[in-house]
Amino acid sequence: MVVLPWSQLVVAVVAACPAFVLSSPLLGVTKSCAHSVKEQVYHPHGWTIDGAAPPDHILKLQIYLPQPNFHELEQALYQVSDPDHENYGLHLSKDDVESLVAPSSDSLTLVDEWLVSHGLDASSLSRSPSKDWVSIHVPVQKAEEMLRTKYHVWKHIASGSTLIRTTSYSLPTALHRHVDVIQPTTSFARAGPFSTIFRLETEEFEAPPPNAPAIVANGGLKVDAACNTSITITCLQQLYNAVGVKPSAKNGNEIGITGYLGQFASTSDLQLFFANQTPAAVGSSFKFVSVNGGLNNQSSPGVEANLDTQFAFGLSHPAPATFWSTAGSPPFIPDVGTPTDTNEPYTEWLNFILAQKSIPQTISTSYGDDEQTVPLSFAQRVCNGFAQLGARGVSVIFSSGDGGVGDGDANPATQECFTNDGRNATRFAPAFPASCPFVTSVGATFHVPEVSVSFSGGGFSNVFPRPSYQDAAVGTFLRTLPKGKFAGLFNPAGRGIPDVSAQGVNFRIFFNGRQGGVSGTSAASPAFAGIISLVNDARLSKRLPPLGFLNPLIYKLPFAFNDITAGNNPGCGTEGFNATKGWDPISGLGTPDFRKLAEILAL
């Protein structure tokens, strides 16, 4: 492993400003100023330096300014999401949210002065509507000058993918409190889909004999025996008590799926899927939206995109559906000087969607990465963005990960689960953004009756503390955990994941005109989102507001979920956590019962 000496990582912790002058009286400097390290990280295990970054490669730097009133937005989010609060369902408008996340005038002035001092035209730069971030395009050489750092090309040893990153950067000391974080700098996240490889079926899916008796699901419902072979829309409707539901296409309910990393959703495969599983939807499709130059390459569909759109939109039909294609896909390509492969793509989508006036009420994302590869400051800002969506009445749903309690490697024998703090200690590795307390994370089950599947990501955040809505459920689980079990391997005070579960094994999809099976929590997330969209449909049809941020609500309705009490999620050399009665860090509260939810929430 190649590690740079500290003298190369931090260039001048305290140094004079360059020839330019930051003369604002607010900054308290005249002809010189001290610089100090703003952020420093250890590079994640499994990465090595592969050379200096090309000086002319263009970086798209996102500079996030502090949100001094975010605590007020968070308070409002919990009020509109708590069914016991008088403000439940009174979601905030786009303007309301933007006013609560706007930076101070001092921060705006000082950051602009700093940018101007480096030769940038502050008036022409891209900003969020609330001005809580500003985006600049600069070559590596300029970024190194501005941040007093050195960028390198880093290679991920296992996959060979590469990123341009640094492990430390500096700012004028007096500017620190006016900048939350700048990226891409220290984040080594490799956001990817949480699903196994598509398995093409050379023959028709094996069906049980015609006289095979129905099997009984966890909630006592009868389910076709074929659902133990492969999962279809019908299976999910039977399992989650949504048979015969007839949603509206005209009450304003909408659903959306995010797509990243060159994953394109095939409209022709969608029609084959509809013809096979949802005949009433044949002829309908989704609205395609490009984010940051995202393409719509119908000749190169992605398994993940097909899985997500087919099941989420098949379950929620006829709700209008949207698929966002967001550009940005590492690895770095030295001879292409574009900025689209430098940022984590879900931040590009988040910045885009927050600027929209109208947003679908249910959004599912089946991507993520190990939490510890995302610096704390950046994780908090991304998570705060999801809080803004929740405050506006959007249910933000994420897969919980496919590494059990481990680091994303599907083979427990090879999981290393090393910490990134220089100790290389073994520790469970939860996924992000699933660990953000402002999203609903979904684990995976299989079989009927349902059992938690071994790859289902679960555990406790090492970044985010346990939110109050989890105190009772998670506290009960921790009290049942044998004393000393997994001591030092997880953070018992952290946010627990997942929140809920859904089927996640052998989903029957169409890909390039052929049927095949896909497994992963990336299947569970759109399945759960489809059920939530049906609940939103029932509410909107009765002129009730959408559910919005789900977690404060669902933790008060455990009886509306099918409790999963079998299964475990091994990793990091352990058997992982067991599914037990009540909430647990593999199945969460369990799988949804649509009619119970609708009877309570759409009276």
Binding residues: 563-564, 582, 584
For residue 548, what are its two tokens?
A: 């919005």
The alpha-helical segments, DSSP class H, found in 129-179 are 140-147
The C-alpha atoms of residue 418 and residue 411 are separated, in whole angstroms, by 15
Helix (H) or strand (E) segment spanning residue 443: strand 440-446
304 catalytic, yes or no? yes
308 catalytic, yes or no? yes
Q: Which amino acid is at 452?
A: S
The C-alpha atoms of residue 103 and residue 68 are separated, in whole angstroms, by 6
Q: Which amino acid is at 562?
A: N
Q: Check: CB of residue 244 under 8 Å from CB of residue 477.
A: no
The C-alpha atoms of residue 103 and residue 455 are separated, in whole angstroms, by 41
The C-alpha atoms of residue 170 and residue 179 are separated, in whole angstroms, by 11
The strand pairing partners of 465, in sequence order, are 494
88 CB-near residues (< 8 Å, 6+ apart): 79, 80, 81, 82
DSSP string covering 371-385: GGGS-HHHHHHHHHH
**Residue set of the binding site for Ca(2+):** 563-564, 582, 584
Nearest to 181 by CA among 379, 448, 411, 398: 379
Q: Check: CB of residue 477 under 8 Å from CB of residue 200.
A: no
User: How many other CB atoms sit within 10 Å of the CB of residue 200?
Assistant: 11
The C-alpha atoms of residue 282 and residue 324 are separated, in whole angstroms, by 21
Calculate the alpha carbon distances from 107 to 53, 64, 96, 375, 551 in Å.
30, 10, 20, 22, 33
The strand pairing partners of 248, in sequence order, are none
Q: Tell me how far apart the terminal alpha carbons of the chain are, to the nearest angstrom.
A: 60
The C-alpha atoms of residue 216 and residue 93 are separated, in whole angstroms, by 44
Residues in the chain: 603
DSSP string covering 494-506: EEEE-SEEEE-S-
The C-alpha atoms of residue 417 and residue 433 are separated, in whole angstroms, by 18
Q: Which of 304, 341, 344, 402 is catalytic?
A: 304
Q: Is 47 helix (H, G, I), strand (E, B) or coil?
A: strand
Q: Which amino acid is at 354?
A: L
Calculate the alpha carbon distances from 328 to 325, 351, 481, 506 in Å.
10, 14, 42, 29
In which residue are the tokens 């069914």 written? 83
The strand pairing partners of 49, in sequence order, are 154
Side-chain-side CA neighbours of 235 within 13 Å: the count stands at: 24
The C-alpha atoms of residue 409 and residue 100 are separated, in whole angstroms, by 40
Helix/strand/coil (H/E/C) assignment for every residue in 300-316: CECHHHHHHHHHHHHHH
106 catalytic, yes or no? no
358 CB-near residues (< 8 Å, 6+ apart): none
By annotation, the residues acting in catalysis are 304, 308, 522
